[in-house]
Structure 1
Amino acid sequence: MNANALYDTIKLEMNGKTATVTLNRPQSLNAMNPKMMRELLNCLKEIEKDEDILILVLKGEGRGFSSGGDIKEMLDLGGKEEFSEIMDVINDLSMTLYTMNKLTIAGIHGAAAGLGLSLALAADYIICEEDSKLAMNFIGIGLIPDGGGHFFLQERLGACRAKKLMWTGKVIQGQEALMKKLVDEAIPSGKLDRAVEKYITECLQKPLQSIIESKAIFAELNKDRLEKALQLEKAGQWKMRQTQDHQEGIRAFVEKRMPQFKGQ
């Protein structure tokens, strides 16, 4: 695969049995606009077909992993049909990552927020730097998590702690994320690439086909639950987009001020 020429918003590197996909909109902290979502989905589908690739690494270019969905571009979506189409892309992204017949690794530095965090949580193994900032911060604009955020947070934290994290929008740094078991490894700042390479080396010394087969069993057991969560999130996102609180959250974001929510 020589896919870099095909993509504007992501980068793809192939090295033996490993494919590394890098989110590449550093000027916007890798905010995910519709073009990036579609390019990422296309790239993941192609990697999934490649039987020589056994490990996928997902990371971000520049100062962070991903700040989440590109709010300004998402505001330009038209009516319900266009919204529904992009939500289907998001849902397909999460399902593809979760069920992919590869060992998947998310390498986080800087911000991993909103949809960016949801996609990172879809990976099998998450490594973050200690000064990373993880947040499921949809609450700040009157929305609910998407990309399977409800499912993935429940898997890692349990429902009660997942709700607390979503409802507060709290920003969690690397060591706290490790303590909460939100991630699998927290390493010093600037050491992410080395830590990812170390984990890949360890994995390549193991019977990876056995690991991937076990992953497939867990995915088969859980994918109906994930699919249900994704459909509920799609409906809930549309419902919340009609609320006054969401409109206020967006205005506050654009005006760089604290929102004044009214529960409406």
Structure 2
Amino acid sequence: MTEAPPTLSVERMSRTEWITLQRTDQMNAMSMQMLHEMTTALENAMSDDAVRAIVLTGSGRAFCAGADLKEVAGANHEPGQPDLLDLVDHTFGLMRDGPKPVIAAVNGLAMAGGLEMVMACDLVFAAESAKLGDAHSNFGVFPGAGGAAILPRRIGLNRAKYLLFSGENVSAQDMMDWGLVNKVVPDAELHDAVQAFTDKLADKSPAVLRRMKAVANRSLNVDEAAALSEEMLNLRAHMRSWDMREGLAAFNEKRKPQFRGY
């Protein structure tokens, strides 16, 4: 039996791991195979000390058009075996909760599960021509990775309901104005803009970024007093780290710090 071709590529550029979805003819729709490969790529990057940031992007005219609905419709899984939704939950969880910054470089259309993938990333850069939206209602499908649960937190309840109910896509600029996208750049400059940004991240303390990500994520689920308490606990732990001592020493000695991530 012929082995299926890979659904994504992984490339190391400086200290950034680029994961590029490559089901171009299917608009990079998520299949079981793609999710398995994404999990492997993410786990490898998260555990590699040489990698300081991870970028997800797509090939062709789409970032990701969501789940492969043909595969969903024809799914026939053995009892006890993970299905596509289980894999989505695990893969997106790695992106949200993993110790390293994950950046979406939205090169084109991001809809339904593709929009949910964007929301699982820490930061979002988008090409000017990119369109984003939740298309679940167009196909009678209910979201399962953040469309209804997380989108209102990102862009506000009324805007989220509009996208959820209508199934329409909006421009990257609109999504930046609404707070989901961090930066919009000309299409031809997307890759270089993201790489330049992650090169800056690579010079930061991995320990600081890891703790910042964890505390910031959890702050949405607790009240202000609890969030401040957790921040203080993390600061006290961080004060014993190599990276903080090295950062302060570098400041006093007027040199560039050499962080180790612990």
| Structure 1 and Structure 2 fold alike (TM over 0.5) | yes
Residue 95 of structure 1 deviates from its aligned partner by 1.0
* Distance verdict in 2 for CA 1:80–1:221, change over 3 Å: farther
Contact 1:54/1:101 (8 A) holds in 2: no
Structural mapping, 1:154-193, within 5 Å: 154-193=152-191
C-alpha distance after superposition, 1:197-241 (max 9, x if no partner) = 2212332344343122110223345689xxxxxxxxxxxxxxxxx
Aligned: 1:47 with 2:39: no
| Comparing 200-209 and 33-42, the one that deviates more | 200-209
Specify the alignment match of 1:132 in structure 2.
130
Aligned-residue Cα RMSD (Å) equals: 2.5
Distance 1:104 1:137 in 2: 24
Structural mapping, 1:100-249, within 5 Å: 100-221=98-219
SS at match of 1:30: coil
What is the TM-score with the length of structure 2 in the denominator? 0.76
Distance 2:99 2:33 in 1: 25
Distance 1:164 1:82 in 2: 37
Residue 180 of structure 1 deviates from its aligned partner by 1.1
Specify the alignment match of 1:91 in structure 2.
89
Distance 2:54 2:104 in 1: 9
* Distance verdict in 2 for CA 1:83–1:164, change over 3 Å: farther
Residue 81 of structure 1 deviates from its aligned partner by 4.7
SS at match of 2:116: helix
Specify the alignment match of 2:29 in structure 1.
31
User: What code does the residue aligned with 2:134 have?
Assistant: M
Distance 1:151 1:94 in 2: 14
Specify the alignment match of 1:78 in structure 2.
76
The size of the alignment, in residue pairs, is 220
User: What code does the residue aligned with 1:170 have?
Assistant: E
C-alpha distance after superposition, 1:27-72 (max 9, x if no partner) = 1111111111111112212222222222000001122211111112
SS at match of 2:121: coil
Identical residues among aligned pairs (%): 26
Specify the alignment match of 1:18 in structure 2.
16
SS at match of 2:11: strand
Distance 2:46 2:221 in 1: 17
Contact 2:16/2:195 (8 A) holds in 1: no
- Unaligned stretches of 5+ residues in structure 1: 1-5, 225-264
What is the TM-score with the length of structure 1 in the denominator? 0.76
Distance 2:181 2:72 in 1: 28
